[in-house]
Structures are given as C-alpha cells and as structure tokens.
C-alpha cells in the first residue's frame, strides 16, 4: 500500500481479462453496470485501501472499470492495538470487541471519503466488499480440529454509516467447507486478468506473498494459487525492530540496496517446513511475525551481518521463496511468460530486481501493466467477490483452498437500495 493518497477518478476504460474491450463482444456488454467499493487491509497492518469499481457480466466474462481508489494509514494507536492482537499478545474479549467496532468506523470513514472525492453518492452503490482485518488464521493442517480464521471490522457499522449493503466475512464459508480460507483473491484474478495469449502469474507482495498462476486461455479449474511465504512482513518487521520503531519499512528498498544478502541465512530460513508444503497452503503473521524477525536478527548477528545485510537478506528471502514456489509447484504444470507484481512490494525496486533475477526468463512487471495500480489489486478483488456474492455465485476455488466444494462466500449486512 502507498501511504496516504487520494481518489483517482475519471472512469478508466472498461477492461476485461480476455483482451482490450474494443476488440471484444461479450454478453456482459448488454448487462447493467453495478458500482461497488472494495475495502482491503492486510497483514502489513499499514492501513486501508479502497477501490470504486464498475462491474458487469458473469463468469467466465467480466467487464470492469476501475473508477477511483484511495489509501489511508491506520491511526497509530489503532495499528498498535491490532499488532498486539495479531502477534498473539494477551487481550480480553472486551478489547477485541472494541477493536471490531473501531475498525468498522475506520472502514466506513474510508469508504465515505472515497465516495466524496469521487463525487459518487452512496445510493449509487450496489454494495461494499469488506475484507476485514485478519488477526488470527490457522489452516486445517495446523489445527487438528479444523481451520479457524478471524477477521475484525464490524460490517453493521459500515452498513449503517454508509447506508449500503456490505458483504463481509468472506473466509468463513471456505473454512467451514474444509478449506484454508485463503487465498480467495485468485478467483477475482481469473476474472480480471486471465489472458487468451499469455500464461501469467499475478504476484501479490503484501505482508504475505501469494500468487495466482493462469495458463493462456485459463478456465477457473486451471488456476493454481497459494501463499508463497513472507512478503513485506519480515522486511517491515525487521526495519521496525532495527530502528526501534522510528521506521516502518525499507523506503524505496534503500537498505536492501546497500546491504549484501547472506545466502546461508536465507537457506536456513527456507528450511522451514512451510516452504516444502504442496498447495493448497496459506500462512500469516503467526509463522512470520515478530518471533521470526527476532530469530532472524539473532542468527544474522551470529553471522556478523550488518543491519543493511539483514534487510538485504530478508529481501532475498521473499524473492527466493517466490521463485522456488514457481519453479516447484507452477512451472511443471503451466506454461508461463510473465509475472505481474502487485501490493506494497511492487514499490520496492530492490525487491523487483531480486524477483526479476530469480524468475528469469519470465518477464517481470507490475500490475500497472494490466491497468491496475499495485496498491489496488486486492481491494478491487474484494469488489469482485462481493459482486459474485450478490449474484449468488460461488467464488472460492476448491483446488486452491482445499475446500470440499465451491461455496458462496460472505455475509450480507444491510438492506438493498430502495428498501424501506
């Protein structure tokens, strides 16, 4: 995510995953447009991304337009409280409840600010797709009694403040069906970005890195997707640790560019059993949070590494884990030509260079090449998922999450437009 930022409107050209819209004739062209807002806050805990999108059509064709977007940081105190919960610190039920409602207010304010800047009335929206803030996520592989997941952010607060329907709690249905509950964005990636002519990987480097791989002409059943490991989570946590909290990230990849990656430190980290797991797989702060960062620093100091070397090595860990995941689990199955990077990591030149080196001969670009700014991809995906929920269509991919069946995702809160 880029910090701050304002809405950008003007109605970008309608796009579809199969090629330029002026060359396509789809059934969607005769369907009415629906306007939705997607709201995303991820494991990096740096704030809220909101996207205003216009959508029409149904799988496998979806016409879409990215109308505006906005990013805003979390208030410092709220971020500190969320971080404490996500890192497993002791907290009371009352504190969790207060966070749940406080996040709802933050999300609602972000949506209203986006709409105001884009000069769109709430009454013009079909719905808001709300990711919520994941504070605990354990897959069925990690929990003998079955997977569990918890996202905070009261949908009822957003529905009341914005006066619009809200689709939220997307992960629960997939987890209940035996799935990982993540990643869910690959279904939207397929609708938005699949190409007739190019095998693609859409790589999101947020707190956790995850990829969606699609061969040319992909059907939904052809999609391969999973979490590759840490994205910015270790990088950001390391910079925060080393700076005593004065810095929150490696701006522009400057620290990583100055340092030298230690292959031994990276190899030791890649020996974690997670990286050998075949998909479906997902992970989070529970595995790659503060405790991981503290071990990384201790092991790096024992190797005589400087602060910048530690950061450069963390950058290499992200790039190596992505490249190994592609080589081990994707390339043997799909013919690929390009990787498109989204998320905060797309703004880190050092990480992009490392990815380009390790993923060669695949072409590496950012999602801007697909007409989606890197900070918008996940929020746009939640607008798409909400669109599918309103239509009553399943939007998980069982081969991705491990669920026993395709499921309609999310809970709908609030009343349709025009309801008394």
Q: 312 vs 139, which has greater pLDDT? A: 312
HEC assignment per residue over 296-308: HHHHHHHCCCCHH
* pLDDT tens digit sequence for 151-196: 999 999 999 999 999 999 999 999 999 998 988 999 999 999 999 9
The pLDDT of residue 417 is: 67
pLDDT at 24: 37
pLDDT at 1 > cutoff 90: no
The fraction of the chain above a pLDDT of 90, given in percent, is 79
pTM: 0.89
Percent of the chain with pLDDT over 70: 92
Grade residue 5 by pLDDT with cuts at 50, 70 and 90: very low
Check whether 23 has a pLDDT greater than 70: no
**Phi, psi (rounded to 5 degrees) for 2:** -85, 135
328 phi and psi angles, rounded to 5 deg: -85, -40
Asked if 2 and 375 touch (Cβ cutoff 8 Å), the reply is yes
Residue 211 has pLDDT above 50, yes or no: yes
pLDDT of residue 307: 97
CB atoms within 10 A of CB 139: 24
Q: Does residue 419 fall inside a structural domain? A: no
Tell me: the pLDDT tens digits for 369-399?
999 999 999 999 999 999 999 999 999 999 9
pLDDT, tens only, 30-61? 678 999 999 999 888 889 999 999 999 999 98
User: Residue 244: phi, psi to the nearest 5?
Assistant: 65, 30
Query: Does 297 reside within a domain?
Result: yes
What total number of domains does the chain contain? 2
Asked if residue 382 and residue 308 are part of one domain, the reply reads no
Q: What are residue 125's phi and psi, to 5 degrees?
A: -90, 145
- Rounded to whole angstroms, the Cα distance separating 361 from 294 reads 35
Q: Are residues 201 and 136 in the same domain?
A: no
E strand or H helix that includes residue 228: strand 224-230
Six token digits for residue 394: 């399943």
Residue 86 is predicted with a pLDDT of 83
Residues near 414 by beta carbon (within 8 Å), at least 6 away in sequence? 155, 156, 159, 160, 163, 164, 165, 166
- Per-residue pLDDT at 11 exceeds 70: no
SS3 string, 320-332, reads HHHHHHHHHHHCC
Q: List strand residue ranges (DSSP E) for 31-84, in order.
A: 34-40, 47-58, 61-73
- Please state which of the ranges 9-18, 132-141, 262-271, 295-304 shows the lowest mean pLDDT: 9-18
134, 221: one domain: no
pLDDT tens for each residue of 314-369: 999 999 999 999 999 999 999 999 999 999 999 999 999 999 999 999 999 999 99
Query: 322 and 205, same structural domain?
Result: yes
Instruction: Please give the average per-residue pLDDT across 92-120, as a whole number.
Output: 97
Tokens of 393: 């269509």
Q: Do 44 and 83 fall into the same domain?
A: yes
Residue 345 DSSP code: G
The verdict on residue 1 lying in a domain is no
State whether 51 and 105 are in the same domain. Answer: yes
237 is a domain residue: yes
Average pLDDT over residues 102-122: 97
Residue at 2 is within a domain: no
Average pLDDT over residues 204-228: 96
> What pLDDT is attached to residue 210?
94
The pLDDT assigned to 18 comes to 37
Q: What angle do CA 202, 207, 210 make, to 5 degrees?
A: 30
Residues 385 and 349 in one domain: no
How many other CB atoms sit within 10 Å of the CB of residue 124? 12
Q: Write phi, then psi, for 226 (nearest 5 degrees).
A: -175, 165
Within-domain flag for 6: no
Q: Are residues 163 and 214 in the same domain?
A: no
* CA 42-48-53 angle, 5° bins: 105
Q: CA-CA distance, 377 to 51, in Å (whole number)?
A: 9
User: In terms of residue numbers, what domain contains 390?
Assistant: 15-186+375-413
Q: Is 400:414 a contact under the CB 8 Å cutoff? A: no
Q: What's the angle, vertex CA 130, arms to CA 248 and CA 319, rounded to 5?
A: 40
Determine the pLDDT at residue 338. 98
The rounded mean pLDDT for the chain is: 90
Residues 207 and 320 in one domain: yes
pLDDT at 147: 79
pLDDT attached to residue 61: 86
Evaluate whether residue 238 is within a structural domain. yes
Cα distances (Å, whole numbers) of residue 58 to 55, 389, 418:
9, 12, 24
The answer to whether residues 202 and 125 belong to one domain is no
Q: How much is the pLDDT for 347?
A: 95
d(CA 386, CA 188): 10
Tell me the CATH number at 21.
Answer: 3.30.420.40
Rg of the chain taking only CA atoms, in angstroms: 20
Tell whether 179 is covered by a domain: yes
Cis, bond preceding 183 (omega within 30 deg of 0): yes
State mean pLDDT over 3-22. Answer: 40
Strand order in the sheet with 47-58: 15-16, 61-73, 47-58, 34-40, 127-130, 166-168, 411-413
Does 245 lie in the same domain as 201? yes
Pairing label, strands 127-130, 166-168: parallel
Distance, CA of 117 to CA of 114 (rounded, Å): 5
Closest CA to 133 of 104, 153, 107, 110: 153
In angstroms, the CA 125 to CA 106 distance is 19
Q: Are residues 216 and 323 in the same domain?
A: yes
């Amino acid at each position: 995510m880029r910090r701050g930022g304002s809405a950008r409107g003007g109605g970008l050209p309608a796009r579809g995953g199969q090629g330029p819209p002026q060359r396509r004739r789809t059934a969607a062209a005769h369907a009415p447009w629906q306007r939705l807002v997607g709201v995303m806050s991820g494991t990096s805990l740096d704030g809220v991304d909101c996207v205003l999108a216009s959508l029409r059509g149904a799988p496998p064709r979806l016409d879409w337009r990215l109308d505006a977007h906005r990013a805003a940081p979390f208030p410092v105190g709220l971020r500190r409280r969320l971080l404490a919960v996500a890192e497993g610190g002791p907290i009371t039920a009352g504190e969790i409840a207060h966070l749940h409602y406080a996040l709802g207010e933050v999300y609602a304010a972000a949506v209203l600010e986006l709409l105001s800047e884009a000069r769109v009335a709430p009454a013009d929206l079909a719905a808001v797709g709300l990711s919520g803030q994941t504070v605990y996520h354990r897959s069925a592989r990690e929990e003998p009694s079955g997977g569990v997941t918890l996202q905070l952010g009261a949908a009822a607060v957003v529905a009341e403040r914005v006066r619009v329907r809200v689709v939220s709690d997307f992960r629960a249905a997939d987890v209940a069906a035996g799935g990982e509950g993540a990643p869910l964005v690959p279904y939207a990636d397929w609708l938005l970005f699949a190409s007739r002519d190019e095998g693609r990987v859409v790589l999101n480097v947020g707190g956790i890195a995850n990829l969606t791989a699609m061969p040319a002409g992909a059907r939904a059943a052809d999609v391969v997707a999973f979490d590759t490991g840490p994205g910015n989570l270790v990088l950001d946590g390391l910079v925060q640790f080393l700076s005593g909290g004065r810095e929150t990230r490696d701006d522009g990849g400057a620290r990583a560019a100055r340092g030298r990656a230690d292959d031994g430190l990276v190899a030791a980290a890649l020996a974690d059993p997670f990286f050998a797991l075949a998909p479906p797989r997902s992970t989070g702060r529970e595995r790659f949070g503060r405790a991981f960062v503290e071990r990384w620093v201790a092991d790096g100091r024992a190797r005589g590494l400087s602060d910048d070397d530690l950061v450069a090595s963390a950058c290499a860990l992200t790039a190596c884990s992505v490249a190994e995941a592609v080589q081990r689990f994707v390339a043997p199955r799909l013919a690929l030509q390009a990787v498109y990077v989204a998320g905060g990591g797309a703004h880190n030149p050092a990480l992009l260079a490392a990815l380009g080196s390790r993923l060669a001969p695949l072409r590496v670009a950012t999602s801007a090449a697909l007409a989606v700014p890197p900070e918008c991809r996940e929020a746009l995906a939640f607008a798409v998922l909400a669109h599918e929920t309103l239509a009553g269509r399943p939007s998980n991919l069982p081969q991705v999450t491990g669920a026993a069946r395709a499921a309609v995702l999310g809970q709908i809160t609030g009343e349709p437009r025009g309801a008394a």
